[in-house]
Amino acid sequence: MNTISSNPCRFAWALWLLVLSAAVQSGANAQEQPNRPFIMEHKTRARFVEPHPEQNGKWDTLPFHMPINPVHIAMMHTGKVLIVSGSGNDPDNTNLQAAVWDPKSLTVRTFKISWDMFCNGMVILSDGKPFVFGGTLKYDTALPAGPFLGETKTASFDTATETFTDTPIMGANQGRWYPSGIVLSDSSVLVYSGLNTDGTLNKSVQIWDGATWAAGGTVFNSVQLYPRQHLLPDGRVFVSGANPDSQMYDPTTKNFAFVVNTNYNQNRQYGTSVLLPLTPENKFNPKVIIMGGSPNPGNVPGTDTTELIDLSVPMPKWVAGPAMLKGRIQMNATILPNGKVLASGGSVNNEDNATAVKEAQLYDPSNNAFSAASVMGFPRLYHSNTMLLPDATVLALGGNPVRKTYQQEVEIYSPPYLFKPDGSLAKRPTITGVAPGELHYGEQFIVTTPDADKIKSVVLIRAGAVTHSFDMDQRLVGLNFVPVAGVLQAKAPANGNLAPPGYYLLFILNTDGVPSVAQFVHLTDLKKPDPKKPDPKTPKIMKLTPTSSPAPSLKLPDGSGVIRDLADSRKRNVALVFFQGDCIHCADQLRNLVREARELNYRGVEILAVSSHKVADPAAALRALGVVESDRFQLLIDEDHHAFRDFGCYKSAPLHALFLIDGEGVIRASYIGESPFGETKDALQRLRDLSPRR
C-alpha cells in the first residue's frame, strides 16, 4: 500500500507547490514530446523474431555503429548519453575521444579530449555533470616496460555546452587507473582504489566536495581495482566486491570495517553488484546481490553463482541466491523500473567470444528467481556496458576482448513490460507534468497523469554511470504516493542517504506493470542560505502600514490565460499578495496566509496572489487539492512584473508585498519588503475588522 499522511494544510501546500513549480515546469515543457519512446520501433533492426516478447522481452540492434570504443557511459539529464573512450584500449591511438549519443535521433557526435580518460572512474555529480577522475597515464605495453600507470587528472562535463573542463588534480601522487567513486548524501564524491602514478595500488581514500580534494582515510588491504560499492540508507558505504571480505566505509569516521565474508570466499573479478530497490514495501531495507566473476580471470571460468545480503540486520550474512544459467565474467546488471534486474552479457571464459553468454536473464527480487530475458545478438565482454534509458528500455553496447577492436553494434532490450499478452505493444501510462520539478527531501510533489487511477508505483532511478561491469551510482528508490483526482501526490525520498542529491529518472508504472517514459527530476536539499548574502530573515511580526490610497488598476492572466481585473472585485475586500514564484521563503508567508483562507472566504474576503513567474496548469493542481472556485482564491501571473511595478513592490527585482484593499478599491493597509512576511496576525485582524462575519 502506498500512502502518505494527508497534508493538514492542503491549501497552503497547493500554493507551495505552485510557487516552486514555476521555474521547473518551463524546463520540463522544453523537452519535446516527453512521452515518446526514445527508440522508435521502425528504427531498429530485428535480428530474429523473439516468439514471446511478452514473456522474455526482446533485443533489437540499432542501425548504426558506435564510432568509438564505448568503455565508459553515463546517462545525462539531457536525455543524451556521454561515451568516454580516450585511447580506447589501443596503446597506439593518440586520437583521444569522447562522444555524445542522442538516443532520440540516433546520432553520435564525437570530439577530442585533452588527456587519456581510458579506464577512469566516473560518477554524475548532484548538479548533473558527469565527473571523471583518473585514467591512463601509460599503457602496460608502453616503454619503459611495466604496469599501467594512473592519471591524476580530473574533469567535469558540462551537459549544456557538451564540453569537458579540467578540475583540480587529485594530487601529485594520486594517480588512479581503475578507480571507483560514489556520490554521498552531501553531494561529495568518495573516490578510492586504482593504480597510482607509479603503478602501485593507490591506498588513499579521497573526497571531492565540488571544489577541492580532501583526505578520506586509507583503503582496506584486500581492495581490488574498480571496487563495487553502494550507499546505504544509514549513510555508510558497503563494499561488496570484488574482494571476498565485504567492508563498510563510514564517511563520518573515514574508516573501513570488515563486515562478513562471501560464501564464494574468493574474488569475484568482473562479476557485478546491485543494491536492490529501496521501496516503501520493503521499508527501504538495503539488500545487495552480487553475481558472477572469477577469482582468476585468466584461468578460472566465471561462476554462475549469486549471493544476497540483507544489510538491515545487526549481523549481515551473505546467503546463496539463485544460480544464473551459465557462468558469467564481464557481465552487467541493470535495474528496471519494475525493480527487476537485467543480468546480461559476459562469457564463461574470460575474453573469449566463443563462450559468450548471449542469453540474458531477469532477476526478480520479489521471488528471488531468474527468468529468461531473450537472447542478445552479440557477445558483450570486457569493456561492454548496459544502462537503463529513459524510455525504460536497456542499452547494451561495446565489448573489447581484443585490443584495437571492439563490438560496434548497439542493442536495445525491450523488457516484457512493454508488451501485451498477445505480443503487441502495451499502452503506456504517461507523465504530463511534474511540479515542482525540483524535488526536496521529504516534501510532496505532484505528478500529473491521465492514468492516475491506474498507477501502481512511482519510482526514482538514478541515472547511471557504467564501466567495467559496474554502475557506480545505480539505485532505485520507490516513493509513497496517493492518487488524487487526476494527479499523483508523491513524496520525495526522506533524505540524501536514501537517494543522494542529483538527477533521477521518474517513472510511473500502471497496474499491469507497464512503465511510463521517464521524466528527469532533480532532487536536492532546500537551498542553503548563501553565506556571502545576508539571509532575508522572515520578520516575526509583520506590521502593516495603514494607507488610504486608491489601488492601481490590475489586470493579469490567471493560470489558464483568462484575464482577471481587480476592479471586478469591487464591493468585496481583497487580500492581494505579491510573491516571487521562485522563492522558497515565499512559501512560508503564503502558507500562513492561506491557512486562514476558509475563514477569510467565509467573511467574503477574496485572496489574489500574484506570482512573478509563470505556473503551468495551476487550475488542475488546485482542483486536485480540493481548492475550488468558490474558495475565491485566485492565482495571477505577472511574468514581466508590470503589476509589481504599478504597486510599488519592485526594486531591481520583484519584492514581497501584501495589500488589504476594501470594497471601494482603497488600499487600507500594506506591507512591502525585501523580506517575505511571516506571521500574519496583524493582517488577519485587519481583515476581520474590515469584514465582520455576515
Q: Note the residues at the interface with Cu ion (CB under 5 A).
A: 119
Q: Position 460: which residue type?
A: L
- Least Cβ distance, residue 166 to Cu ion (angstroms): 22
- Least Cβ distance, residue 155 to Cu ion (angstroms): 18
Strands 519-524 and 438-440: parallel
Per-position b or e across 218-257, b if 16+ CB within 10 A of its CB: ebbeebbbbbbbbbbbebbbbbbbbbbebbbbebeeeebe
Q: What is the dihedral of CA 634, 640, 641, 643, to 10 degrees?
A: -60
First-to-last alpha carbon distance for the chain, in angstroms, is: 45
- Least Cβ distance, residue 484 to Cu ion (angstroms): 50
Residues 6+ apart with CB under 8 A from 46: 58, 60, 61
Nearer to Cu ion, 62 or 119 (CB): 119
Nearer to Cu ion, 119 or 459 (CB): 119
Nearer to Cu ion, 140 or 631 (CB): 140
Q: What is the dihedral of CA 407, 409, 414, 415, to 10 degrees?
A: -10
- Least Cβ distance, residue 383 to Cu ion (angstroms): 6
Residues 6+ apart with CB under 8 A from 6: none
- Least Cβ distance, residue 456 to Cu ion (angstroms): 40
Q: Position 236: which residue type?
A: R
Nearer to Cu ion, 147 or 539 (CB): 147
Ordered strands of the 502-510 beta sheet = 438-440, 519-524, 502-510, 455-462, 476-479
- Least Cβ distance, residue 168 to Cu ion (angstroms): 25
Residue nearest to Cu ion (CB): 119
Q: Position 253: which residue type?
A: T
- Least Cβ distance, residue 397 to Cu ion (angstroms): 15
Residues 6+ apart with CB under 8 A from 652: none
Cβ(88)–Cβ(113) below 8 Å = no
Nearer to Cu ion, 339 or 398 (CB): 398
Nearer to Cu ion, 298 or 561 (CB): 298
Nearer to Cu ion, 297 or 502 (CB): 297
Nearer to Cu ion, 140 or 443 (CB): 140
Nearer to Cu ion, 119 or 125 (CB): 119
Distance CA 441, CA 346 (A): 38
Nearer to Cu ion, 119 or 499 (CB): 119
Residues 6+ apart with CB under 8 A from 84: 71, 72, 73, 74, 98, 113, 117, 120, 122, 132
C-alpha cell, 242: 570484488
Strands 487-491 and 444-448: antiparallel
If you count them, how many residues does the chain have? 694
- Least Cβ distance, residue 94 to Cu ion (angstroms): 18
Cβ(21)–Cβ(445) below 8 Å = no
3-state secondary structure 661-688: ECCCCEEEEEEEECCCCCECHHHHHHHH
Nearest residue to 7 (alpha-carbon basis) of 630, 629, 626: 626
C-alpha cell, 223: 581492495
Distance CA 668, CA 683 (A): 11
Nearer to Cu ion, 229 or 384 (CB): 384
Percent helix, strand and coil across the chain, each to the nearest 5:
10, 40, 50
Nearer to Cu ion, 408 or 547 (CB): 408
Distance CA 162, CA 158 (A): 5
Nearer to Cu ion, 133 or 659 (CB): 133
Which helix (H) or strand (E) segment holds residue 155: the answer is: strand 154-158
- Least Cβ distance, residue 228 to Cu ion (angstroms): 15
Nearer to Cu ion, 195 or 649 (CB): 195
- Least Cβ distance, residue 5 to Cu ion (angstroms): 49
- Least Cβ distance, residue 116 to Cu ion (angstroms): 12
Helices 584-595, 10-30: inter-axial angle, 10-degree rounding: 140
Nearer to Cu ion, 191 or 479 (CB): 191
- Least Cβ distance, residue 419 to Cu ion (angstroms): 36
Nearer to Cu ion, 119 or 396 (CB): 119
Distance CA 168, CA 443 (A): 35
| 3-state secondary structure at position 355 | helix
Nearer to Cu ion, 119 or 490 (CB): 119
- Least Cβ distance, residue 42 to Cu ion (angstroms): 35
Cβ(620)–Cβ(659) below 8 Å = no
- Least Cβ distance, residue 400 to Cu ion (angstroms): 8
- Least Cβ distance, residue 136 to Cu ion (angstroms): 9
CA distances (Å), origin 621, targets 25, 452, 545: 13, 13, 34
Alpha helices in 166-311 (DSSP H): none
- Least Cβ distance, residue 264 to Cu ion (angstroms): 23
Cis peptide before 242 (omega within 30 of 0): yes
- Least Cβ distance, residue 120 to Cu ion (angstroms): 10
- Least Cβ distance, residue 241 to Cu ion (angstroms): 16
Nearer to Cu ion, 406 or 417 (CB): 406
Cβ(471)–Cβ(181) below 8 Å = no
